[in-house]
A and B are shown apart, each in its own frame.
Chain A
């Protein structure tokens, strides 16, 4: 399918058509920050954002999710039997996802869907989702996506990629799912070769604007145990408060906890996001804790992203260079510095 054009004034109309078939998510500005929310008024959609503060991972992997339900009422025939409640997996479109966040979903997917086990909730949501990405024509100073197999116009994980070209968007269908969606939305006008050229220029310009780079070339060959025993971890962890902001915002952090919650005679089994920054994460019932020290937990986070993941899946590092953790860390711990320490010492 050749690249298509959507005139900016036609975008509300396109969204309106999509709304008839899909649940549509768009970035919405709230209290100074953008986040993905269900589209209400297609005439008020604002795609002039850098990125959402929270990563969109919660669209597939909600911060809190009911897994099962059960009755604790002895009078019920199926008391104490744990059951899966029905769930809705309506077709959903996300409009305006940044390429780094889409790539992150691909990185996380190998965890949730692996050769032995398939996480049913993640897998079903991913199937129901169509992702319309928006290339970053103005990347910010903390972006370093081009160093980690990604980029401001990276296509991996997206179904459609939009190029913002002034009065028009150029829409590139990346998957069959994306092509079908464009067809359904009535986007049929082919992009002119001139528009195509503009898109390529915009992409090249954005890539050049990314001035932050991290080295990754030696991470693979280093031994995990040597990196684990490296002398720099105390320094990296020194200022850390173990607040968990980095894991909360990170598009590739997926750890979760499972808890039972009971109200009178009904109970739910729920999974909640968890964080390797918290000492409870690894605390045994006996009191033993393999990561009781702050430095062990900080090391775990970086080792997981930049070494264990790399070794386990041979899928690159578990970082897409979005820069969220750099921007929001209250004590300015900078993963770009840790890349350098791990790659070069």
Chain B
């Protein structure tokens, strides 16, 4: 971070990829304007940034690229409010700012030597993409045992990173279970069903495992009992929360849950930690 933690690094939009058929999700590939900034920017999967649009404001967005991918950052942004709408209408070559990396990360040290189950739903798959790319990198793959992915969306056209999903599906060092709530495509080669149901079908053991779970509240609500049933302890069910944020560094006061600031003490929490906190998120 620069001396002033509120000051964003200037970056250029190198590429914009429309991810979903409803065109509400786009991935922005960003490159630093200054080489020094790029060298200073060291992140770990699970962290996020404030994307900073001059004249519009800032938005907290998870980092979708992996630190093993050099020379750019990826952010996948859902078009929702003023700043995201503006960003969606920008062109390649445009200048924005990036402030970060912010927050904590998935428990990589603790997950070493363990099986990692990744469960994602809808567009809450960005830092999970970062995590999978990170784990599959030749330098890191041996640090983890079996890697399993369950990822679902409402329909095939709403899945993120479809090309990569197809590539992961062909690999033998990751088990991939893609699913959609429903489809009218008779040739759909993957699963049909809600994420919790597919998880129940495919995941039979929690032995020596961690689960990273990101998705809409309804998915998390029904996935949690499935994981508990196969024996996942609350300490090993890891989630990432969203909250309205401004400063991103635990100072402006709005994103607290109890005495924790989601921006600084989170966004990653274990279920055990969340059980100790007020249900106010």
Binding site for B on A (CB under 8 A): 67-68, 70, 72, 79-82, 84, 111-112, 114, 116-120, 224-225, 228-229, 254-260, 262, 267, 271, 274, 276, 281-286, 290-291, 296, 300, 303-304, 307-309, 311-312
Contact = CB atoms under 8 A, between A and B. Distances in A.
Contacts of A304: 253, 256
A290 B281 contact: yes
Interface of B: 1, 3-8, 10, 33, 52-59, 80-81, 84, 94-97, 242-244, 246-247, 249-259, 264, 276-278, 280-281
B30 to A, nearest CB: 13
18 contacts: A80-B96, A224-B277, A225-B258, A225-B278, A255-B254, A257-B252, A258-B57, A274-B253, A281-B254, A282-B254, A285-B59, A290-B280, A290-B281, A296-B280, A304-B253, A308-B258, A308-B259, A311-B259
Nearest to A259: B57
Contacts of B81: 285
Nearest to B79: A285
B256 A116 contact: no
Contacts of A260: 53-57
Contact of B264 (A116, A256, A281, A284): A116
A276 B255 CA distance: 10
B258 A283 contact: no
Contacts of A296: 280
B6 A67 contact: yes
A291 B280 contact: yes
Given A68-B6, A82-B54, A282 B253 contact: no
A72 B244 contact: no
B28 to A, nearest CB: 15
A119 B5 CA distance: 7
B96 A257 contact: no
Contacts of B252: 255-258, 271, 274
A82 B258 contact: no
Pick the most buried of A114, A118, A285, A307: most chain B CB atoms within 10 A of its CB. A285
Pick the most buried of B53, B84, B246: most chain A CB atoms within 10 A of its CB. B246
Contacts of B258: 224-225, 228, 303, 308
B251 A267 contact: no
A283 to B, nearest CB: 6
Contacts of A118: 5
A291 B84 CA distance: 23
B67 to A, nearest CB: 20
Contacts of A68: 6-7
A117 B280 contact: no
A111 B80 CA distance: 31
Contact of B259 (A257, A276, A282, A312): A312
B250 A72 contact: no
Contact of A285 (B10, B54, B58, B84): B84
B8 A82 contact: yes
Contact of A81 (B3, B95, B264): B95
Contacts of A81: 10, 33, 54, 95, 97
B84 to A, nearest CB: 7
B278 A72 contact: no
A110 to B, nearest CB: 11
A136 B247 CA distance: 37
Q: Which 7 A-B pairs have the closest CB atoms?
A: A285-B81, A255-B253, A308-B259, A80-B95, A285-B80, A228-B278, A117-B249
A116 B258 CA distance: 20
B95 A256 contact: no
Contacts of A276: 253-254
A4 to B, nearest CB: 38
Nearest to B255: A282
